[in-house]
Chains A and B, each alone.
Chain A
Amino acid sequence: MSTPHFDYLDRLEAEAIHILREVAGQFERPALLFSGGKDSIVLTRLAEKAFRPGRFPFPLVHVDTGHNFPEVLKFRDSLAAELGEKLIVRSVEDTIKRQRLREPGGKFPSRNPLQTYTLLETIEEFQFDACIGGARRDEEKARAKERIFSVRDEFGQWDPKRQRPELWNVYNGRIQRGENVRVFPISNWTELDVWRYIQRENIPLPSIYFGHPRTCVVLPSGQLLGLNEHLRLDETDEIVERQVRFRTVGDSTCTAAVESDAATIDDIIEDLLSAKVSERGATRLDDNISEAGMEDRKRNGYF
């Protein structure tokens, strides 16, 4: 028998579809966490491959911090409508009011840590037993340690020392009441893999991924932050007009832009191949707080 050739993207895709279908088969109330960023957009494409002509066996869920890029929210809504799938949005704003949480302070007030509260509330509200996310192991060293099926306790906490062994492609999603499983179907993909897949599948993306002129604040680190109404600027802050794009899409208060003329996905891939700085290193303001920043947040229930 001749051996058909599958390249690495075919294999990563097959693995991810298999994982999505295991979620559908093993859980009663799963959800797909959908931010409108490239990784979760790829997840929706994979879900189409896994479940069409049927509907997705889970809703799309977005935890909206209130600091999102408007272009991304618009894209989120239009994609959900186009897919004909249910979109649930829960807002950090509401959680802050309800739980009387303190708004973040500082010049660049990141609501990122507060997302965890809203996520856990949402999980409880809908009794989600599995939450699918687009996190990748190449993003950060603590994520490199996480299983594809990551069991969290009723507080959403991750305990890296008590992870289940994950053998072959047999995924054990058995949990007790109150626990949930975070599932990462594209764990084994890198940033470049995601872009090559977007290229191959011709997947539409929000406009902020492509080079565009934007008014930016220059941070002390030299990073550029798009000017927005949530920032608390000083008179000495340098405001510049630059041609930029975003490598990752988080909150507008903690996601830096990179200078780029890239107009197409091919250009972006060219950019990436010569990039010397990692995705999170280039763009995220919140991981650099401490060496174990991500690990600590994950322990507390962060995605």
Chain B
Amino acid sequence: MDLLRFITCGSVDDGKSTLIGRLLYDSDSVSLDVLAALENRPTVHGTVDLALLTDGLRAEREQGITIDVAYKYFTTPRRKFIITDAPGHVQYTRNMVTGASTADLAIVLVDARQGVVEQTRRHSLIASLVGIRHFVLAVNKMDLVGNDEAVFDQIVADYAAVADQLKLPQVTAIPISALLGDNIVARSKNLGWYTGPSLLEHLESVPAFEEASIAEPRFQVQFVIRPQTDDYPDYRGYAGRIQSGEYRRGDRVHILPSGQESVIEAIEVDQQEVESAAAPQAVIIRLADDVDISRGDSIVPVGSQIHVAKELEATICWMDERPLWPGRKLLVQHHSSVVKAVVSAITYKVNVRTFGRAATESAQLNDIVGIRLKTASPLVVDSYQQNRATGAFILVDELSGDTLAAGMVDAMQNSFVPEPLGFTI
């Protein structure tokens, strides 16, 4: 059985929480005691409010809105699902980015009465920026527009323009009613004119995890294992996770950023040596030579098109209340590697309505901007387009430790691609 992570997004009151509640409820994933707790609560309509299944915080129940990302789980015979329920409010956009960053698929919810609105565009933009491949346009509350096919068709046509602008790779449109359960788990007679899959059927059949396995091999050292015991006096293992691609015993590799070369002597999984291992496996790599390697270094096959760079162009989503100005010094955390950096320029701001770019002096909370970044030591990166694992980073405040921004590498300046040393080891 495999795993699909998806995010639900859309404007406030489009029914995201109700949709998730419905998916959990109709797939038999809600326990009786949890339901009983809901049934004890007074509701407006006199029915169980399924949205309460996801709004887990006191303030959320008080205000009837989703403030923070919630994670929910359900399993069908075909697949295990991790649902990220992200807030729809504009001021919580950063939480939407948080949720989208780990998702394989985005369900963009639209209220059939409202059609495509600004938040639809904003959320589609964010989901496409973070590299989500599969999109579902879920036109909700179809019952409130008389299940009218023409309404659905119009919204699909309007969204096609958004998808076109953002170059979304794949969009599947499904008319639904989360409240009534129409086309959620099973296809509904109320929407008999629709011939496509129900939402759940679609979620079960979308291919998951294509990207990481086809990308070039990438591995970053998290922790050096040196037992220094009688049994293992000279053991040095580099523990980490294969971020993408596949590694084999005997591969010639570069250690970056230093540029040293060696050969993979062994790959260990749970103390067993294996011939090969692939993303997303957590492994230990041992090398044939005694080279100087520490946490944050990358081990990649010789010939990789990875860049060693101290100057980057990146797209970021700024997540801090205090605005970002050029000249700001901060930390870049690129997985296990943390380096000091300065934002040397803010090059543009993305208009979330038009998707156009405009000049800007600063980045405010929730802004998506282009920046130029100079780092104190080199980072070993790909563009985010090339590799979602090695092209992603966060910006961190050195003093408070707060996470300030999500960043995606667009390009590298003055970087180099490591060349083989030209001799055989």
* A residues adjacent to B (C-beta < 8 A): 1, 3-4, 6-8, 10-15, 17-18, 21-22, 24-25, 48-55, 57, 137-138, 140-145, 151, 160-161, 163-170, 172, 174-176, 187-188, 190, 192-193, 275-278, 281-282, 291-292, 295-296
Pick the residue among A15, A275, A292 that contacts B58 (CB under 8 A). Answer: A292
Q: Report the Cα distance A15→B280, complex, angstroms.
A: 8
Contact indicator A163/B68 (Cβ below 8 Å)? yes
Cross-interface CB contact of A18 among B69, B241, B270, cutoff 8 Å: B241
* Docked CA distance A144–B34 (Å): 14
Q: Would you give the shortest CB distance from B333 to chain A, in whole angstroms?
A: 6
Known contacts A17-B282, A18-B222; A25 and B392 CB within 8 A of each other: no
**A188 lies within 8 A of B1 (CB):** no
Given the interface pairs A165-B406, A192-B75, A277-B32, the reply to whether A11 lies near B280 with Cβ below 8 Å is: yes
- B339 at the binding interface (Cβ < 8 Å): no
Would B95 and A165 count as touching, CB distance under 8 A? yes
Interface residues of B in 316-351 (CB under 8 A from A): 319, 331, 333-336
In the complex, chain A residues whose CB is within 8 Å of the CB of B43: none
Interface status of B57 (Cβ within 8 A of chain A): yes
Known A8-B1, A161-B59, A281-B31: A187·B71 in contact at CB below 8 Å: yes
Some 26 contacts from A to B, beta carbons below 8 A apart, are A1-B245, A7-B1, A11-B280, A24-B223, A53-B227, A53-B232, A53-B235, A53-B271, A54-B237, A137-B71, A138-B73, A142-B57, A144-B54, A145-B56, A163-B68, A164-B402, A165-B97, A166-B98, A167-B394, A168-B392, A172-B394, A174-B331, A174-B401, A282-B33, A291-B37, A295-B57
Q: A21, B223: Cβ atoms under 8 Å? A: yes
- Taking A21-B239, A25-B222, A137-B71 as given, write out 6 further A-B residue pairs in contact, using a Cβ cutoff of 8 Å, ordered by the A residue number: A21-B282, A50-B282, A144-B71, A167-B97, A188-B82, A295-B57
Give complex CA distance A55, B57 in Å. 39
Interface size on B, residues (CB 8 A): 77
* Total residue contacts A-B, CB cutoff 8 A: 181
Partner of A145 from B57, B213, B232, B403 at Cβ < 8 Å: B57
**A17 and B95 contacting across the interface, CB-CB below 8 Å:** no
Which residue of the partner chain B has the closest CB to A160?
B57
CB of B421 closer than 8 Å to a CB of A? no
B290 at the interface (CB under 8 A from A): no
B246 touches A1 (CB 8 A): yes
Which B residues are CB-close (under 8 A) to A188? 71, 73, 82
A7 & B2 in contact (Cβ 8 Å cutoff): yes
Q: 3 tightest A-B contacts by CB? A: A281-B33, A141-B56, A174-B401
Bound CA span A193–B80, Å: 10
User: Assuming A8-B2, A14-B281, A25-B223, is B241 touching A170 (CB within 8 A)?
Assistant: no
Given contacts A53-B227, A170-B335, contact A21 B101 (CB under 8 A): no
Contact for B282 among A7, A18, A165, A278, CB less than 8 A: A18
Residues of the B chain whose Cβ atoms lie less than 8 Å from the Cβ of A6: 2, 280-281
Asked whether, in the complex, the Cβ of B213 is within 8 Å of the Cβ of A165, the reply is no
Contact A11 B3 (CB under 8 A): yes
Measured between alpha carbons, how far is A141 from B223 in the docked complex, in Å? 34
Q: A170 with B333: in contact, given A8-B1, A164-B402 (CB under 8 Å)?
A: yes
Nearest CB on B from A194, distance (A): 12
Q: In the complex, A42 Cα to B402 Cα: how many Å?
A: 31
Interface 1/0 per residue, B381-421 and A, CB below 8 Å: 00000001100111010011111001000000000000000
Interface check B305, CB cutoff 8 A: no
Chain B's nearest CB lies how many Å from the CB of A148?
A: 10
Which residues on B sit within 8 Å (CB–CB) of A143?
Answer: 56
A7, A145, A161, A275 — most chain B CB neighbours (10 Å):
A145
Q: Smallest Cβ distance from A201 to chain B, in angstroms?
A: 9
A190 pairs with B246, CB closer than 8 A: no
| Known contacts A25-B223, A49-B270, A160-B57; A276/B32 CB under 8 A | yes
**A13, A22, A192, A277: the one within 8 Å of B222 (CB):** A22
B404 to chain A, nearest CB (A): 9
Decide if B278 is an interface residue (CB 8 Å cutoff): yes
The docked-state distance in angstroms from the alpha carbon of A10 to that of B269 is 12
Q: Which of B8-31 contact A (CB under 8 A)?
A: 31
Contact residues in A for B376 (Cβ distance below 8 Å): none
- Residues 50-83 of B at the A interface (beta carbon under 8 Å): 53-59, 61, 67-73, 75, 79-80, 82
Q: Which residue of A lies closest to B295 (CB)?
A: A25
Would you call B354 an interface residue if the criterion is a C-beta within 8 Å of the partner chain's C-beta atoms? Answer: no
Chain A CB within 8 A of B94 CB: yes
**Contact partners of A15 in chain B: CB under 8 A:** 280
- In the complex, the answer to whether B241 meets A17 with C-beta atoms within 8 Å is yes
B226 at interface (Cβ–Cβ under 8 A)? yes
Are A165 and B241 neighbours in the complex by a CB distance under 8 Å?
no
- Please give, as numbers and ranges, the residues of chain A lying within 8 Å of B157 by CB-CB distance: none
Partner of A276, one of B31, B58, B79, B278: B31
- The answer to whether B225 has its CB under 8 Å from any CB of chain A is yes
Please tell me if B102 contacts chain A, counting CB pairs below 8 Å: yes
